[in-house]
């Protein structure tokens, strides 16, 4: 008997949940390819270690951009590698797969995601939307006739959705999320400190001293990179308020989009949201004080899921249990 598997196919990370076992895989969505032979050299964590450090004939590819498949063959190779690594295929049987996509994907993109999962060894493949699955994973009961709102901030997309009775009532998908935050840090440090850094370094800075609201004025970090002017290695000291400034405009776009979604929400559901608050999920939800920033501008309580990065993958596990009941092909 093959075990059913749920896949959070993220721009930054792939998480896989196997029924009865929980989350068994969490690796970066990165593949290293040898351009001379077109062979895959490394996938996931191994490939991520090579980002920004490869010789000319090795290309490190992120096959997903903004939550959708940018490179079909590489996505399929990556999924096949992960699924084989888990060894979940039973003798003569194929696992059911539930895979998640951002709310803004087109029907062509949806087909591509389903096809990649089928080709990588799945039996029946179901597709559901990330904010819905994230809400379930964060512990919200979305099948009741009451309003819940989720902001799911991934690597490539931020999905904002109001849910009731198991369906999305109103939603918006933004192409601004964790990767774009890292990019904002890269640009800011280049302009302010004449220092070139890579996206991995930017992510590290964001994790260590990043804050969305009321940053600690005394918190600093030493950043190493390349001098823009003379090209030599150099280091600079960057403070938490600077990183907050770098991230501010982007975070305000998430707040503006959430406001739009709330304005389109039926009044009865809005009343529920004032009581229940906004739930933050996804890796981007781990940015310090993001809940305070959103609450400050929208005047609604904001909660962060207990395991924001794993919310979608946890949700797939719960939904797979009653997939026949809530299925959408």
CATH number for the domain spanning 94: value is: 3.30.420.40
Asked, for residue 171, whether it belongs to a domain, the answer is: yes
* pLDDT of 88 higher than 70: no
Asked, for residue 34, whether it belongs to a domain, the answer is: no
Which residues lie below 8 Å from residue 40, measured CB to CB, with a gap of 6+? 31, 32, 33, 34, 74, 77, 81
Q: What pLDDT shows up at residue 287?
A: 96
| Domain identity same for 10 and 122 | yes
Asked, for residue 118, whether it belongs to a domain, the answer is: yes
Q: Which of 282, 280, 278, 286 is nearest to 310 (CA)?
A: 282
Q: Is 258 annotated as a binding residue?
A: no
| Domain identity same for 161 and 185 | no
Q: Do the strands 97-101 and 220-227 form a parallel or antiparallel pair, or are they unpaired?
A: unpaired
Question: What's the domain count of the chain?
Answer: 3
* pLDDT of 121 higher than 80: no
Q: What pLDDT shows up at residue 2?
A: 60
| Domain identity same for 233 and 268 | no
Q: What is the CATH number of the domain that holds 241?
A: 3.90.640.10
| Domain identity same for 123 and 221 | no
| Domain identity same for 122 and 112 | yes
| pLDDT tens string 197-232 | 998 899 999 999 999 999 999 999 999 999 999 999
Last residue of a domain, one of 231, 246, 261: 246
Q: Is 157 annotated as a binding residue?
A: yes
| Domain identity same for 259 and 162 | yes
Q: Is 198 annotated as a binding residue?
A: no
Q: Is 205 annotated as a binding residue?
A: yes
- What is the mean predicted confidence (pLDDT) over 15-44? 92
Q: What pLDDT shows up at residue 158?
A: 95
Q: What pLDDT shows up at residue 87?
A: 73
Backbone φ and ψ for 285, nearest 5 degrees, come out as -70, -15
Q: Is 231 annotated as a binding residue?
A: no
Domain that holds residue 102: 5-29+66-132+312-321
| Domain identity same for 170 and 89 | no
Asked, for residue 198, whether it belongs to a domain, the answer is: yes
| pLDDT tens string 281-324 | 999 999 999 999 999 999 999 999 999 999 999 999 999 887 65
Q: Is 96 annotated as a binding residue?
A: no
| Domain identity same for 195 and 120 | no
| pLDDT tens string 223-274 | 999 999 999 999 999 999 999 999 999 999 999 999 999 999 999 999 999 8
| Domain identity same for 118 and 88 | yes
When the pLDDT of each residue in the chain is averaged and rounded to a whole number, the result is 91
Q: Which of 122, 173, 174, 146 is nearest to 18 (CA)?
A: 122
Q: Is 161 annotated as a binding residue?
A: no
Q: Is 26 annotated as a binding residue?
A: no
| Domain identity same for 22 and 70 | yes
Q: Is 58 annotated as a binding residue?
A: no
Lowest mean pLDDT among 82-86, 183-187, 277-281, 290-294: 82-86
Distance CA 176, CA 178 (A): 7
| Domain identity same for 211 and 83 | no
Q: Is 158 annotated as a binding residue?
A: no
Which residues lie below 8 Å from residue 262, measured CB to CB, with a gap of 6+? 149, 162, 270, 273, 298, 300
């Amino acid at each position: 008997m093959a075990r059913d598997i749920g896949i959070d196919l993220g721009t930054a990370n792939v998480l896989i949940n196997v029924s009865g076992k929980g989350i068994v895989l969490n690796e970066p969505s990165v593949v290293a390819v040898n351009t001379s032979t077109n062979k895959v050299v490394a996938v996931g964590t191994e490939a991520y270690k090579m980002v920004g450090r490869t010789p000319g004939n090795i290309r490190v590819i992120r096959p997903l951009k903004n939550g959708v498949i940018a490179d079909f063959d590489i996505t399929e190779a990556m999924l096949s590698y992960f699924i084989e690594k888990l060894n979940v295929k039973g003798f003569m049987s194929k696992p059911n797969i539930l895979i998640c996509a951002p709310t803004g994907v087109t029907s062509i993109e949806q087909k591509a995601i389903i096809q990649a999962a089928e080709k990588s060894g799945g039996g029946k493949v179901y597709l559901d939307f990330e904010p819905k699955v994230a809400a379930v994973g964060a512990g919200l009961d979305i099948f009741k006739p009451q309003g819940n709102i989720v902001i799911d901030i991934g690597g490539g997309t931020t999905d904002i959705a109001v849910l009731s009775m198991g369906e999305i009532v109103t939603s918006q998908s933004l192409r601004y999320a964790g990767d774009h935050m890292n990019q904002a840090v890269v640009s800011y440090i280049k302009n302010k400190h004449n220092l070139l850094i890579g996206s991995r370094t930017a992510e590290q800075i964001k994790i260590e001293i990043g804050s969305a609201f009321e940053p600690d004025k005394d918190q600093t970090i030493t950043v190493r990179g390349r001098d823009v002017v003379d090209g030599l290695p150099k280091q600079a000291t960057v403070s938490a308020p600077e990183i907050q400034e770098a991230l501010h405009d982007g975070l305000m776009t998430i707040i503006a989009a959430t406001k739009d979604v709330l304005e389109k929400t039926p009044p009865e559901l809005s009343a529920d949201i004032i009581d229940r608050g906004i739930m933050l999920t996804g890796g981007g939800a781990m940015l310090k004080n993001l809940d305070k920033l959103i609450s400050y501008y929208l005047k609604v309580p904001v909660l962060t899921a207990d395991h924001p990065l794993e919310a979608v993958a946890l949700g797939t596990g719960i939904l797979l249990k009653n997939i026949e009941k809530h299925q959408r092909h």
